[in-house]
Structure 1
Amino acid sequence: MRQPDIEIYLKDADVDHKQITAWLTEAVGPCSEWKQKGQTFKCTAGDIPVTWLPKAVGKWNSLYLESDNTPWEDDIACARAAFAALNVEVRCAPGSWVEEEGEDDADRWIRISADGEEEITWRTS
C-alpha cells in the first residue's frame, strides 16, 4: 500500500540540499529554488512539496516529501534509491507509524548502507 508521504534520514557526511536537488530532479522532476526559513529548506520537485531539515536528529538530515505521488511506494523504496544515488547511509521507518502502535515500534528503523540493509533500534528522542 502506497504511503501518504515519504520521510527518510540521511547521514550528515557529505550530503546537502544541492546534492538532493540533483537526485530529486532526476527521480521526480525539476526542483524549484530552495527557500530557507530558519534551519529548514523547502522546494518543489516536480509538483511535490519537499522539506530538507539539516541535523534533524543529531547528525541526521530529514528529507520529507509531502505527497503520495512519488516514484516510490514507501519510505524503504525511497531510502534504497537515495542510497544508490548518493552513496550515503540512509535510515527510515519500516512502514507507516502511528502513535497507537506504541513507543517500542517508534524506535524500529531500517538502515541502508554499504553494509547492506538491516533493521535497527534507533532512539531518536
Structure 2
Amino acid sequence: MDTTAVIVTIVGLSLAGFVLWYFFFSARQTASAVSSSSGMQEVDITVKGGYSPDVIEVERGKPVQLHFYRDEENSCSEELLMPDFSIRRDLPAFQTTLVELLPKEAGRFEFTCGMGMLRGALVVK
C-alpha cells in the first residue's frame, strides 16, 4: 500500500466515524411540552433535514398534540411514522400537521420519517 492509499483509507474511516457519531451519538435538542389551559400538552416541531426539537418530553396520562411544520420539499421528510402509537401521517410541504396521542405508559418512543433516516423520540415521564 502506498501513501495515497493509506491517506484515502484514513480519511474514509474518519468520515464514516463522523457520520455514525452525527446520526447516533451527537447531542439532541430536547424540549418539554407546554400544557395549555385545556390540559393538552403541545409542542411545535420543525421538519427540515431532521426534527427540531428531536427529543420531546411529555407527561404520562395527559393528551399530547404535536405540531409538525414541514419547512422543505425533501421527499424523505414527507411521511411521519410513530409505530408505538400506530401513527402514520403524510406531512405536506410548508404546512403544519397535527398529531394527537395519549401516552399511557412511561418510556422512550422513537419516531422517524418514512425512510427511517430522520429520527426523533417522545420521552414519556
* TM-score category, normalised to shorter length: under 0.3
Greater RCO (Cα-Cα under 8 Å, separation 6 or more): 1
Q: Specify which structure has the higher proportion of strand.
A: 2
TM-score normalised by length of structure 2: 0.26
TM-score normalised by length of structure 1: 0.26
Mark the structure with the bigger radius of gyration.
2
